[in-house]
Chain A
Amino acid sequence: MACVYIPVQNSEEEVRVVLDQLPKDASDILDILKAEQAPLDLWLIIAREYFKQGKTEQFRQILEEGSGPDIDEYYADVRYERIAILNALGAYYSYLGKIETKQREKEEHFILATQYYNKASRIDMHEPSTWVGKGQLLLAKGDIEQASSAFKIVLEGDRDNVPALLGQACVEFNRGHYSESLELYKRALLVHPNGPGVMRLGIGFCRYKLGQFEKARQAFLRVLQLNPENVEALVALAILDLQTNEAGGIRSGMEKMQRAFEIYPYCAMSLNYLANHFFFTGQHFLVEQLTETALSATNHGPTKSHSYYNLARSYHSKGDFEKAKAYYNASVKEINKPHEFVFPYYGLGQTLLHLGDLKNALLNFEKVLEVYPENCETLKVLAHIYDQLGQIEKAREFLRRATKVDPRDAQAFLDLGELLISSDTVAALDAFKTARGLLKKVGQEVPTEVLNNVGVFHFEREEYETALQAFKDALGDGIWLTLLDGKAKIEVDATASAIQYKDVQLFHQLEEAGFSLELPWNKVTPLFNLARLLEQLHNTETASTLYRLILFKYPDYADAYLRLAAIAKARNNLQMSIELVNDALKVNDKCPNALCMLGDLELKSDDWVRAKETFRAASDATDGKDSYASLCLGNWNYFAALRNEKRNPKLEATHLEKSKELYTRVLVQHTANLYAANGAGVVLAEKGHFDVSKDIFTQVQEAASGNIFVQLPDVWVNLAHVYFAQGNFALAVKMYQNCLRKFHYNTDSQILLYIARTHYEAEQWQDCKKTLLRAIHLAPSNYTLRFDAGVAMQKFAASTLQKPKRTVDEVRSTVDELENAVRVFSLLAAASNLHIHGFDEKKINTHVEYCKHLLDAAKVHREAAEREEQQIRHKQEVSRQLALADEARRMAEEQMKFQLEKRKQEDELKRMKQQEEHFERVKEQWKSSMPASRRREKSDVDDEGGHSEKRRRKGGKRRKKDKNSKSHYDADEAEAEMMDDHEELEDDMTYREPNNRGNDDGDGENTEGLLAAAGLEDSDAEDETVPLSTAERRRRALSESDDDEPLQRPMIDDFSELRVSDEEVREE
């Protein structure tokens, strides 16, 4: 039984105080101590005893009494004990301050502690224990630097001062200098091997922080050996166990935590860990209780933040986002730097994201990213937020980073692919493919959407095989496989063609046959795409079956109706197509696509008024924003302008103006709309602005040929029309032919007609005829083409007969051609009795008569030519005989001469010499005169040659526009080579005049009719041409302007002149 003896003053007696039985009221003891003036160490011992017994009130009372001013007086020389008392008080208040959670009281405690220590210092500046106490106080206040200097003062005096060593170790620990701290703890342990477990605890923490977990564990175990109730050691060991991340470790860790909790239920750390544990086991009620206790038990920032985090997480997982947000916020507030504890930021970001506060969520996630710049989840979340905020570029950037960090994250690749769809299809496809590969590798099922997207991209890049495979992968197993194989053979009643596109009988039969027709909703899109692909691959039959399957299961899938309608339309089954579009409209009567298609179909079936209404409806359904509908209306107006046979200039102008306005509106909305540009070009060309329209068409053509998705044959035709209108026939033909080959598989008889027309204008009759024959072969029921062919042959014949010189063969072929023409016309005349083909019988008869007449003339010509030929042959024969006779005579003469000369030879011998001399003289004369004259002659020839060549060129050029009026020549007169030109032109005129006369000959009264017929034939050629979106009508305006449209003439003349001046510039 421990006891102390208080010596009684001025005697030998002592008062025995049994320490276990200290009175409840400290005053009793105090009275004794004061009365007996007991040594101060006794005061301290008794006070300490009270403290040990937990009677802090008595402890404080004694010490406060023992440090009062009286004591200072009485015990003035007892310095150490006084200091010890003061220090004890200081330490007590430090402790109170340390554990106090309320800030104000905490401050007050610290102030008191400081006062006591200062008082102690005043007694003895150098007392180490005071400095140690001060150091502890400073530590408790968090003033690490000052604390360190306090401890250092002590250690300078005594380097083995254990408390100072421990304090300094603590300082170093807080500074993060764990190895230094460890050294200090070790030294303290060496000095004081039997010291309390706390020293080992320090060592353990240092080891832990240094990553030496095994040694740390040993240290903690030692602490527990010394004191099995040491909560810190238990918690630390538990944490170590938990960190092993193994089921066994975690279990034993949790057991230790629990023990720690049982020993001391207010250790925040263990509370947090327990809460954490219960969070994962889903016992949210316990989590809340534990964390709330932890929160009230500690004031330590990080720990509190942890607790709040636990709480927030619990609410978060329960779906109470508002509360979760509040607690996350509280948790975040406790953290100075995100580096210390980043989870609550993430959680806060998540809740904010969920609550729709993107901006703040973004901030929080960015903080997380600062700490973990390579965290995939965060990168993905950020990408998602940026995507939501519309900053696609940034979103993409983050996803790229995420995929770089973790190249095996399929989800990231998928997201990246989604983001890239709009901008970079190639990269998007790559991303999707990578994702697909990754998913496959891990044996996960690839989402249907991904495969679908991959397929679509391949489709768009015209990689049909891969696209097909992708769609098949996306669809997996199902009834479509049977349909794809074409194994389901169902016969259809051929008398009802409608059934091909609407029949669902097939599916009923399949169902009866035991096939499952299941079509999950997420496979509809890939199935539709597959059908679309099959359509592209011209496997339209299977495509149609698949579309019908979709409709069988999902009757509201309007797009499938539209595709079926498109198939029907491509096969020219307009009625069916209209029916299908109407089905689509039943699903949604405002669907602009369906309305546009319907309008188009109505146009095709010649229902103009209704088409316009439909286009209007389509345009209204999209508030005029749908450029297709606007374009359709523009086209409609353009067609309407040119539709009337009897043109109404006013109406035409308003329609053209309207269409121009519509095209322009579309162009304003979409500056890159090729179709609108094309339309605008057409309107301009219609108004005669060929240079501008040519520029436009050329640009559109270039743009269209650079794009694999756009097929715009019209612009080729339009460009060719412009060339044609400008007289560039060769180029026009080339352009038409290219268009025909490139876009129409050479099957478009309309374009062939254009080519024929160009040949006709270029007076290439045979080419014209051949082209027309091809056109007839393609479009046998188009009798207008036959008529045109007849006209071409007639023209050919006429032009040959009008030639000043022609061979017999030419005349013969002319006769043949005329016979053909007569046959063609008479067949037409017979046919027109049966049918109406848009031209009247009279006119054909006129042609027949004219051709017959020409034929008669030609036959005469042929006979004449043949006669002439015979005559020539006869003449040749005569002249040959004559020549023979001449030869004989000459031979005879020569013989005679020879004889004569021989006779004379001798007589002449004398004169010969004289003659020779004379000859020599003459020769000399020649020598002197010849060269000069020859040179002159030569230069004359050169001059003339050059001149005539030039003339010829000019002449050729003139001939091309020989139809131009006289006024033209007047203009030409001003030109440099006026005279020559004029002569040439007059030559031309004479060439032409016989032509005209030739036409007139013998057909006097009919001439006018014939000319009219010749003029009309051109329009006939076009009467049946339903205007496409091309400018074919313009041809008429241009080509006929010479003949019957004086209004157009000035414009044409301008053109020719322009061309003339151009050419002249080139010539110069």
Chain B
Amino acid sequence: MKLAGLSSVDNAHDDSVWATTWVPATTSRPALLLTGSLDETVKLWRADDLQLERTNTGHCLGVVSVAAHPSGVIAASASLDSFVRVFDVDTNATIATLEAPPSEVWQMQFDPRGTTLAVAGGGSASVKLWDSATWKLIATLSVPRPEGGKPTDKSSSKKFVLSVAWSSDGKRIACGSMDGTISIFDVARAKFLHHLEGHTMPVRSLVYSPTEPRVLFSASDDAHVHIYDSEGKTLIAALSGHTSWVLSVDASPDGLAVATGSSDKTVRLWDISMRAAVQTMTNHSDQVWGVAFRPPGGTGVRFGRLASVSDDKSISLYDYS
């Protein structure tokens, strides 16, 4: 497997780019790249030539995460002011504005069928589930606090939820916290199942394998990527190689590789079967906050694509093969 740089846009935003995702192709158009930045805008880009399609405004403070509905019709963006804006991708019409005070908003993800949006709720130590039809809050999955700890203890901030991921079968949700623990929930019963330990620093990004529903990848500030069997509660492997925080992780659609972005300015491609980094891209000049593989489907999408966004205000596109 291999990454090859295709194109990149310098100064894609006026300030650091903090989030990215792919909007799947619809019948009328191919997949689009969605990016969010500290400059309070969300931008849409046409793939391959990275032509700017549209700039969405309306957020205050920086945009920290973006998520796209599997249908490719709607998307969500969230900013530091804890608002989630749900909008129509093609018209930019606002569909809903979500907030659940005092919960902040960090990583978000639609479930594979697109019925629910899961939002990592920061200091509320919970994951909020929003119905994507009515945009009503349907559940709050709370991370249980460690027993015996005093409620005033500083440890309360340690369960701060940063990241969230749906398993590929839509049955499980994993969320990662500041203290490095990962919590697994049963979605159907809205019930906490167990913790996955191993990290002791913030887990900023999580992703399930698209091919194996049990396999979970986590990216942490401890410079490691862990591969867990989320059901068997086992740490399958720990991938070391980044020299600083791992900020973002995404799994390739074929399930054979993961890509990571790190504050060490690199993007790395890992071969899961070898459990080793096979490639390191050094084209960014600052922290790489987001990496995203293009989902399969749509017209003319025969090749794998990976996008990365960085504090250096640029976005880059790679060919994955």
Chain A contacts for B237, CB-based, 8 A:
489, 541
A599-631 interface mask toward B, CB cutoff 8 Å, 1 = contact, 0 = none? 000000000000000000000000000000000
**A746 x B287 contact (CB < 8 A):** yes
A909 at interface (Cβ–Cβ under 8 A)? no
A489-517 interface mask toward B, CB cutoff 8 Å, 1 = contact, 0 = none? 10111111100100000000000000000
CA distance A540 to B226 in the complex (A): 13
**B80 x A836 contact (CB < 8 A):** no
Chain A contacts for B234, CB-based, 8 A:
491-494
CA distance A827 to B158 in the complex (A): 19
Chain A contacts for B236, CB-based, 8 A:
491
Chain B contacts for A746, CB-based, 8 A:
263, 286-287, 311
Closest CB in chain A relative to B150 CB, distance in Å: 10
Chain B contacts for A646, CB-based, 8 A:
none
**Count of inter-chain pairs, beta carbons less than 8 A:** 143
**A827 x B82 contact (CB < 8 A):** yes
**A495 x B239 contact (CB < 8 A):** no
**B80 x A777 contact (CB < 8 A):** yes
The interface on chain A, measured as residues whose beta carbon lies within 8 A of the other chain's beta carbons, has a size of 46
CA distance A827 to B275 in the complex (A): 43
A548-577 interface mask toward B, CB cutoff 8 Å, 1 = contact, 0 = none? 000000000000000000000011111000
Stretch at the interface among B2-10, B22-30, B98-106, B292-300: B98-106
**A495 x B157 contact (CB < 8 A):** no
A286-320 interface mask toward B, CB cutoff 8 Å, 1 = contact, 0 = none? 00000000000000000000000000000000000
**A816 x B60 contact (CB < 8 A):** yes
Stretch at the interface among B47-55, B191-199, B206-214, B249-257: B191-199
B318 at interface (Cβ–Cβ under 8 A)? no
B233 at interface (Cβ–Cβ under 8 A)? yes
**B197 x A497 contact (CB < 8 A):** yes
- Choose one: A495, A539, A570, A747; the contact of B196 (CB below 8 Å): A495
Closest to A1024 in B: B154
A84 at interface (Cβ–Cβ under 8 A)? no
**B123 x A747 contact (CB < 8 A):** no
A404 at interface (Cβ–Cβ under 8 A)? no
Closest CB in chain B relative to A645 CB, distance in Å: 15
A375 at interface (Cβ–Cβ under 8 A)? no
Closest to A571 in B: B222
A992 at interface (Cβ–Cβ under 8 A)? no
The interface on chain B, measured as residues whose beta carbon lies within 8 A of the other chain's beta carbons, has a size of 64
User: A773 and B242 in contact (CB under 8 A), knowing A495-B194, A780-B162?
Assistant: no
User: A494 and B196 in contact (CB under 8 A), knowing A541-B240, A747-B244, A827-B82?
Assistant: yes
B38 at interface (Cβ–Cβ under 8 A)? yes
**A494 x B233 contact (CB < 8 A):** yes
Chain A contacts for B122, CB-based, 8 A:
780-781
Chain B contacts for A491, CB-based, 8 A:
229, 234-236
Chain A contacts for B199, CB-based, 8 A:
571
B245 at interface (Cβ–Cβ under 8 A)? yes
**B102 x A492 contact (CB < 8 A):** no
**A774 x B263 contact (CB < 8 A):** no
A829-848 interface mask toward B, CB cutoff 8 Å, 1 = contact, 0 = none? 01101111100000000000
- Choose one: A496, A572, A780, A833; the contact of B197 (CB below 8 Å): A496
**B238 x A777 contact (CB < 8 A):** no
**A834 x B235 contact (CB < 8 A):** no
B282 at interface (Cβ–Cβ under 8 A)? no
A783 at interface (Cβ–Cβ under 8 A)? yes
Chain B contacts for A820, CB-based, 8 A:
60-61, 81
Closest CB in chain A relative to B80 CB, distance in Å: 6
CA distance A773 to B199 in the complex (A): 26
**A494 x B198 contact (CB < 8 A):** yes
B166 at interface (Cβ–Cβ under 8 A)? no
**CB within 8 Å of B: which of A468-505?**
486, 489, 491-497, 500
For the complex with contacts A745-B264, A745-B287, 13 further pairs of A-B residues with Cβ separation under 8 Å are A491-B236, A494-B229, A495-B195, A539-B241, A572-B222, A745-B263, A746-B287, A747-B263, A773-B61, A780-B162, A781-B157, A827-B104, A830-B101
Q: What are 16 A-to-B residue pairs whose CB atoms are below 8 Å?
A: A486-B274, A486-B276, A493-B235, A494-B197, A497-B197, A539-B241, A541-B238, A745-B264, A773-B61, A777-B62, A780-B122, A781-B122, A783-B123, A820-B81, A827-B102, A830-B101
8 nearest interchain CB pairs?
A830-B102, A571-B222, A781-B160, A497-B197, A745-B244, A494-B235, A573-B200, A831-B102
A-side residues, CB < 8 A to B, are 486, 489, 491-497, 500, 538-542, 570-574, 745-747, 770, 773-774, 776-777, 780-781, 783, 789, 816, 819-820, 823-824, 826-827, 830-831, 833-837
